[in-house]
Amino acid sequence: MAEPLRLKATSASPGIASGPAFVAEPVEPAATIPSSVSGQVELASAIETAILELQELATGTDPDGGDIVEFQIEVLRDPTLTEATGARIEAGENVAFAWVGTLDGYIRELECSEGDQLRARAVDLLDIKNRVLSVLTGTPVNDFPAGSIYVGKDMEPSRFLAHDWSAGGGIVLYAGSAVGHVALLARSRSVPMVIGAGRVATARGQYIGVDGDAGLVILEAARWNATSVEHCAPSTGTAPPLDNGIVYTSDGTQVLLSVNVNAPEEIDAIPAEVTAGIGLMRSEFALMSLGDAANEEKQFAIYRHLLDWADGRPVTIRMLDVGGDKPLPGITEASSLRGIRLLLARPQIARVQARALLRAAVFGNLRIMLPMVTFPSEVDAMRQICREEAGELHRRGVPHRTPPIGMMVEVPAAALMLDEFEGADFFSFGTNDLAQYLVASAREEAGFSLDQEQAVPAVLRLLTQAVRLTGGRPVSICGDMAGDPVRMSGLLAAGIRHFSVAPARLGAIRSALVGLNADGTKAAGD
């Protein structure tokens, strides 16, 4: 029998998989923000759908429930609501945020009113707000068949996250980078992935294989040795000890090991006792649409879930790092802005998230982390937003707490000036972006992995200097460099004592650390 054709590619996530190819069309640019006219039409139709849903609900409910639903329908038909929202849309707000802003105004008034009955109505309005919001933003994600091998030029993180990987499958990208966003998601979910495969000559439905260990694409994989094509079950090696993520170097220095979390369900399979907590939660991978970004209740539930899991350990939630190469569908007018710059340019997004975080902070050891910070004024501006939202929550009598607010150090200008960031309570090095901006290289491009490799000495020198500027405030690293055992020596020597890594990397990093001294030298006899 003829051997299957093997194409050399580059490994981006280990493991082996095979299945029918799903050859993707090129990723379409994100939809533009609807104009004020289409925004108003969209709103009217969303309200109509919500009314229909409520009418259906009313038919099967008892008289009390029916009264509540009747009241909600009446409110939805009130033209003052659509007029107030329409005015916000006219002023340039996105329809989802215009709706949320209008309803929040009424909810706050009701919450602060004298009578018990009026105050109780606030919950009904909250229900209406979320019902219309979910209609407005329930954009279906373009999924592909479970168990297939995705083949394409690129892949959107939202597509990865919406897909059911439990039936296996893998990813083959024509170009791409091992530190791209989908690659890091693939590693955290143990989905085999290769990049740099070039235009693979396959068609939809044809059997192909992905060898993420050797960095190969196998064409006509039906003829490939069946034993080697089974999907690899997620493996984290031997179970890590329940040491709360506290590890000691060979000469007795304490080092902390936390985990990076992308989608909230990732933590469900890990006992919190093997970690020192969550060092980075990329909230943009849990909130994949403008609707999620506008949905305070959904966010609050996600953050609480993480805090419950952590059981008192620190949970560092990074505010939405969207824009640039992490687009949030619906926001395209500010595509050059990313991270905190975009949040400050669109404060209505930041305000919803700040409220959800402040409310969740009551339930555990939450810490807010700001993405892509460049200047101290950005931290101060976000602190001010948090202060204002805390004031608002206080006025409404909603339980909340202002947690520590720290920042990612992933822009070289910030790394050089850390002593100027008086408003930051803690720092975490994001070496993926830091390396990208240090060597003027695009993170999602095929050549970036090599550039990043060559950038290591410069990154380490920058980190060494930056650690000295932190003035004793907590400092950690959450970029991919922290999950590479080969880098432990240089990172320890730079003074780093807290590593946050993908859960699957915990074992390898723990083993590397115990064989080293705190200055990064090899332990005697190792």
Binding site for Mg ion (CB under 5 A): 410, 430, 433
Return the residue of 292, 433, 444, 451 that touches ligand PEP, per CB under 6 A: 433
**Closest CB to Mg ion among 10 and 428?**
428
Q: Which does 479 bind (CB under 5 to 8 A by kind): ligand PEP, Mg ion, none?
A: ligand PEP
Amino acid (one-letter) located at 407: M
Shortest Å distance, C-beta 432 to Mg ion:
5
Q: Residues 358, 402: contact at Cβ < 8 Å?
A: yes
**Site size toward ligand PEP, by CB under 6 A:** 10
Q: Which does 93 bind (CB under 5 to 8 A by kind): Mg ion, ligand PEP, none?
A: none
Stretch that binds ligand PEP, among 13-21, 193-201, 330-338, 431-439 (CB under 6 A): 431-439
Give the Cα separation of 268 and 189 in Å (integer).
12
DSSP structure string for 236-276: -SSPPPSSTTEEE-TTS-EEEEEEEESSGGGGGGS-GGGSS
String of contacts with ligand PEP for each residue 303-342, x by CB under 6 A: ------------------x---------------------
Q: Residues 284, 320: contact at Cβ < 8 Å?
A: yes
Shortest Å distance, C-beta 372 to ligand PEP:
8
Shortest Å distance, C-beta 482 to ligand PEP:
9
Stretch that binds ligand PEP, among 168-176, 202-210, 235-243, 429-437 (CB under 6 A): 429-437
Rounded to the nearest angstrom, the gap between the alpha carbon of residue 327 and the centroid of all alpha carbons in its chain is 12
Give the Cα separation of 340 and 372 in Å (integer).
6
**Closest CB to ligand PEP among 94 and 432?**
432
> What phi and psi values does residue 327 have, to the nearest 5 degrees?
-70, 145
Shortest Å distance, C-beta 315 to ligand PEP:
16
Shortest Å distance, C-beta 273 to ligand PEP:
24
Shortest Å distance, C-beta 350 to ligand PEP:
18
**Closest CB to ligand PEP among 21 and 475?**
475
Q: Which does 279 bind (CB under 5 to 8 A by kind): ligand PEP, Mg ion, none?
A: none
**Closest CB to ligand PEP among 132 and 415?**
415
Paired residues of 247 in beta bridges: 255
Return the residue of 240, 245, 430, 503 that touches ligand PEP, per CB under 6 A: 430
Q: Which does 266 bind (CB under 5 to 8 A by kind): ligand PEP, Mg ion, none?
A: none
Residue with tokens 């009598």: 397
478 touching ligand PEP, by CB under 6 A: yes
Residue with tokens 């730079």: 494
Q: What contacts 24+ positions apart, CB below 8 Å, involve 65-74?
A: 68/124, 71/121, 71/124, 72/124, 72/127, 72/128
Give the Cα separation of 523 and 525 in Å (integer).
6
Amino acid (one-letter) located at 66: G
**Closest CB to Mg ion among 122 and 317?**
317
> What phi and psi values does residue 250 have, to the nearest 5 degrees?
-60, -30
List the alpha helices (DSSP H) in 21-115.
Answer: 36-59, 63-77, 79-90, 95-111
187 touching ligand PEP, by CB under 6 A: no
Of 461, 496, 410, 464, nearest in space to 179 by CA: 410
Give the Cα separation of 321 and 298 in Å (integer).
18
Q: Which does 431 bind (CB under 5 to 8 A by kind): Mg ion, ligand PEP, none?
A: ligand PEP
Helix axes 376-396, 95-111, angle to 10 degrees: 40
String of contacts with ligand PEP for each residue 270-289, x by CB under 6 A: ----------x-x-------
Stretch that binds ligand PEP, among 45-53, 105-113, 427-435, 466-474 (CB under 6 A): 427-435
Return the residue of 168, 169, 277, 479 that touches ligand PEP, per CB under 6 A: 479
Give the H or E element holding residue 520.
none
452 touching ligand PEP, by CB under 6 A: no
**Closest CB to ligand PEP among 97 and 499?**
499
Residues 391-420 close enough to bind ligand PEP by CB under 6 A: 410
Q: Which does 211 bind (CB under 5 to 8 A by kind): ligand PEP, Mg ion, none?
A: none
In sequence order, the 6+-apart residues with CB closer than 8 A to the CB of 413 are: 374, 375
Amino acid (one-letter) located at 112: C
Question: How far lies 306's CA from each of 75, 187, 260, 376, 459, in Å?
Answer: 35, 20, 12, 29, 31
Give the Cα separation of 427 and 476 in Å (integer).
6
**Closest CB to Mg ion among 211 and 433?**
433
Amino acid (one-letter) located at 332: T
Token readout for 149 is 């091998």
Shortest Å distance, C-beta 490 to ligand PEP:
16
Give the Cα separation of 288 and 157 in Å (integer).
9
Paired residues of 499 in beta bridges: 257, 477
Stretch that binds ligand PEP, among 47-55, 152-160, 303-311, 424-432 (CB under 6 A): 424-432
List the alpha helices (DSSP H) in 331-477.
Answer: 340-345, 347-360, 376-396, 412-416, 431-438, 448-467
Shortest Å distance, C-beta 181 to ligand PEP:
7
Return the residue of 432, 441, 476, 517 that touches ligand PEP, per CB under 6 A: 432
Shortest Å distance, C-beta 448 to ligand PEP:
12
**Closest CB to ligand PEP among 147 and 277?**
277
Q: Which residues bind ligand PEP (CB under 6 A)?
A: 280, 282, 321, 410, 430-433, 478-479
